[in-house]
A and B are shown apart, each in its own frame.
Chain A
Amino acid sequence: MSQNISIPSTSLSSRNKIHPQKFMLWMGIGSICMMFAGLTSAYIVKRNQGNWLEFNIPVYFWYSTLVIMLSSITIQFAVKAFKERAMQKYKALVTITAILGIVFSYLQWVGFSFLNNHGIQLIGRGSNPAASFLFVIMLLHIAHVIGGVMALLIIFFKAFSSKIKTYSSISIELAATYWHFVDLLWIYLLIFFYLIK
C-alpha cells in the first residue's frame, strides 16, 4: 500500500487541480441536466402542438419543496460536522437528511394521488400527455432523490463499519453537491410546471 503513494503522480500532486471524482460528479450532473432539458423541451414542443390539458399543480408540491430545501441545509451542516469530527452530530444530520429525502418523495406521491383523485389522470388510457409529462418527469426526479438517499446510506455505513478510519471528507462532500443539485433541479421543475402549463 505504501508503494502506491510512492508512485510518482506528477499529474496530480504537482498541479492544483480539481479532484477527479468531484470533476466526474460535475460532468454527471451535466449529463443529468441534458436528460431533463430533453424532457422539458419535449414538453414545450408538445404543448405548442395543442390538445393540451391545463391544470394547477397541487399544494403538496410546495410542501415538498420546503422539505427538500430543508434537507439541503441539514446536509450542509453534516459536512461541517464531519470536518469538525463531531461524529455524533454528523450521524444525526445524515439520518435527518435521508429521512427528509424520503418525506419529499412521499409528498410528491401524495401530490400525484391528489391529481388522480381530482380527475387529472396521469397515465393509462385516456390520460393527456400534459399530465403524463408531469408524472414522468417528476418520477425521474424522485428516482434521482432516492439515488441520493441510497448514496447517503452507503457513505453512512461505510464510515462506521469499516475498520480503517477515513479522514477524507470527499464522499460526504460529493453527496452534498449531488444533493444540492437535485434540490435545485426540483426548484427548476417546480417553476417550470408552475409557469408553463
Chain B
Amino acid sequence: MSNEVLHAHAEALTVHGDHHEHHHQETFISKYVFSQDHKMIAKQFLITGMVWAVLGGLMSVLFRLQLGYPDAHFTWLEDILGKWWVKDGRITPEAYYALVTTHGTVLVFFVLTAGLSGTFANFLIPLQIGARDMASPFMNMLSYWFFFTASIVMISSMFVETGPFSGGWTAYPPLSALGSASPGSKTGMDLWLIAMALFVVSSLLGGLNYIATVLNMRTKGMSMTRLPLTIWALFFTAVLGVLSFPVLFSGFILLIFDRNFGTSFYLSDIYVNGVGALQNEGGSAILFQHLFWFLGHPEVYIILLPAMGMVSEILSTNARKPIFGYMAMVGSMFAIAVLAFLVWAHHMFVTGLNPFLGSVFVLLTLLIAVPSAIKVFNWLTTLWKGNIRFTPGMLFAIGFVSLFISGGLTGIYLGNSALDIHLHDTYFVIAHFHIVMGVASMFGMFAGIYHWFPKMYGRYLNNTMAYIHFWITLVGAYLIFWPMHYEGLAGMPRRYYDYSTWESFKQFADLNKFISIVAMIVFATQILFLFNFFYSIFKGRIVTKQNPWNSNTLEWTAPIRPGHGNWPGEIPEVHRWAYDYGKDGKEFIPQTTPVGAEESQH
C-alpha cells in the first residue's frame, strides 16, 4: 500500500524532481507555456483574466457611450470598429445587445471565475497548505489550456458576420435557441456555446484538483481547522463549481439539440416574424431557466467566496489581530455553500412560479442574510481596535467589506417575491449585482493581487499608483452604481438601447450621462493599475524580506522567488492556526513556530 502511494506521489512530482542543487533542463515552452508549476499556471490565469477584464470593461464603456449620449454621433468610432458595430456614428442596436451580452458573460465567467479562483486557488492552495504542487499538475495545466481555448473561441465570435451572441449572458431560449429570431443567435451563439462548454470543462478540471489537493496534500500538522480562511473559501468555491457546472452543461446540451437537431425541449408555439409559425410543440422555455439558475446562483458565490477568503486573511494580517470568529467564518461559508443550491428560483419569481413555492424560496433566500451578516460582523470586529496598516491590499479589503454591505442590503429587497414584481429586470437589479458581486469581487481580486504580488514576482507594486487606483475606483464604483438604484425604482428596465424615447425615463438623461463619464474615468484608472502591474513585474522595488507583511501563513516561509516544488528542503511543519497576531505580547507568530510551554491557550 505505502509503496503504491509513494509511487503515485513520485509520479506527480516527476516534473520538478530536481528543483534545487541540480540544474534543471527547462525550456521556454515548458516553463512559460505548457507549465505544470502551479505558480506559473496561476499567473497565466491572472494575465488572461486581465486581458478579458480590459476587453469586457471596454465593452461597458462603449455601451455606456450609447446610454449616456444617445443622440451623439461618434464617427471616429466607425473607423475603428467598422460598420457592423457603429453606423452613422452610433452603436447599432445589434451591436449594443452583443456588447452587453459579451460583457456580462466575460466578466462573470472569464474574469471573476477563471481569473479570480483560477489565479488564487492555483497560487495559494499549494503554498498555504504546504504542498509542492497540486494533486495533478497535468490536469491543472489542461484546465488552463481549456480556458485558453474557450477564450479564443469566444473572441472569434466577435468577428463573425452575424456578430457575437446577443441574448444576454443568461442565454434564455427561445431567443438563444432560434437562429431565425435574431442575427446574434446564429453563428455567434454556436461559438458562445462551444466556448462555454470548454469553459465548463476547464472549471471542472480545476475544481477537482483544488478539492483533492486541499483534502490530501496538507503538510504535517496542517489540520483542516488550522487552514487559513483563504483555503476554506477556495475549497467551498471548488465544491460549488463541481456540483453546479454539470447542471449548466446539461442545460446547454438540451439547448444545442433544440438549435441543431429540431427537438423541442424549450420551444413551443412560437411565431417568428418573417418566418411564420414554428412546428415545435411541447417544450418549456422556463425549463432552461431552472437549469441555468441552478448553476447561476451558486455561480455568484463561486465569484464571491474567494474574495471573502482573501479579504479575511488580508484584514487579519493588516489589522495585526486574529480573525474574529474563525469557526463562525468557516461555518457561515458552509451555510452559504449549502443555501446557494436552494435559492435559484428567486431569479424566477415572475415566470409564473407557484406563489407558495415562491414563498419558500423567499424564506431560503432571506436565510442567506444570516451567514452573510455573521461574516460582516466578524470582519468589522476584526478591524475593531486593530493596529491597522493601510497597505493597498488592506484598503481594497476594507473596500470589499463596504461594497458587500451596500450591495447585500439591496438583496434583501430583491429576495422578496412581491417587491420583485416591480424590481425584476430593472436597473435596481443591475445596481445590486454589480455592487455585491461584480465590483466587490473585483475589489477582493485587487486586494489579493496587491497582497501577494511580492510573492508572485519578487517585487513590490508602486504604492502611489495603488492609492490613486483604490480611491478613484471606490468612489467611482459608488457613483456609477448607486444612482442606478433610483433608475430601477422608477421602473427603468435593463438591456434597453435607448431610454430617451420614453417619457418616464427622460428625466434620467443627465444622470445617465454622469454615470457614463464616471465609468470612463474608472476605466482609465484601471489602465493605470495595468501599467503599475506590468511595470512592476520588471522594474518594481525588489523584495528583500522573506516575509514582507509579517504574516503567519506558510507561503511566506518559502524562498522569495520559490522554484518548482516551493520549498528547497523539507516542507515546513505546522504547529498552530494562521491567526496568532498580537498574542502574548508578540507581534505575530508564524504557523511554523512550535507552541511554547508558557504560551496562553490557543
Contacts and interface: CB of A to CB of B under 8 A. Distances in A.
Interface of A: 1, 3-5, 7-14, 16-21, 23-24, 27-28, 30-32, 34-39, 42, 45-46, 49, 51-53, 123-130, 132-133, 136, 140, 168, 170
A26 to B, nearest CB: 10
10 nearest CB pairs, A to B: A35-B246, A38-B247, A51-B282, A124-B262, A4-B10, A38-B250, A132-B263, A10-B220, A34-B246, A20-B135
Interface in B172-193: none
Contacts of A13: 2, 5-6, 9
Contacts of A8: 570-571
Nearest to A126: B279
Interface in B558-601: 565, 570-571, 573
A180 B232 CA distance: 32
Contacts of B14: 1, 4
Contacts of B399: none
Contact of B219 (A10, A49, A132): A10
A133 B265 contact: yes
Contact of B217 (A18, A20, A39, A132): A20
Given A11-B131, A39-B250, A51-B281, A3 B17 contact: yes
B462 interface: no
Contacts of B281: 51, 126, 128
A35 B201 CA distance: 13
B216 A20 contact: yes
Contacts of B300: none
Contacts of A39: 250, 253-254
7 contacts: A5-B10, A7-B565, A17-B216, A34-B244, A51-B282, A125-B279, A125-B280
B10 A45 contact: no
B8 A45 contact: no
Contacts of A3: 17-18
Interface in B1-51: 1-2, 4-10, 12-14, 17-18
Most buried by B among A3, A17, A124: A3
Contacts of B73: none
A123 B262 contact: yes
Contacts of A170: 4, 8
A38 B291 contact: yes
Contacts of A37: 247
A9 B254 CA distance: 45
Nearest to B266: A129
Interface in B316-353: none
A23 B246 CA distance: 18
Contacts of A53: 282
Interface in B159-218: 204, 208-209, 211-212, 215-218
Given A19-B8, A45-B287, A52-B282, 13 more contacts: A3-B17, A11-B216, A12-B217, A13-B6, A13-B9, A19-B4, A21-B8, A24-B135, A24-B139, A30-B243, A126-B281, A129-B263, A136-B253
B69 interface: no
B264 interface: yes
B234 to A, nearest CB: 15
Majority secondary structure of chain A interface residues (helix, strand, loop or mixed): helix
Given A23-B216, A30-B243, A46 B265 contact: yes
B263 A127 contact: yes
A22 B571 CA distance: 24
A23 B215 contact: yes
A125 B262 contact: yes
B410 interface: no
Contacts of B280: 125
A130 B282 CA distance: 9
Nearest to B221: A10
Contacts of B216: 11-12, 17-18, 20, 23
Contacts of A16: 1
Contacts of A130: 282
A50 B209 CA distance: 42
A11 B8 contact: no
Contacts of B211: 27
B132 interface: yes
A9 B18 CA distance: 15
Contacts of A11: 130-131, 216-220, 571
Contact of A42 (B135, B139, B291, B573): B291
A190 to B, nearest CB: 19
A13 B8 CA distance: 11
Contacts of B279: 125-126
Given A11-B217, A11-B220, A24-B212, A38 B251 contact: yes
Contacts of B254: 39, 42, 136
B550 interface: no
Contact of B13 (A4, A10, A17, A27): A4
Contacts of B247: 34-35, 37-38
A114 to B, nearest CB: 19
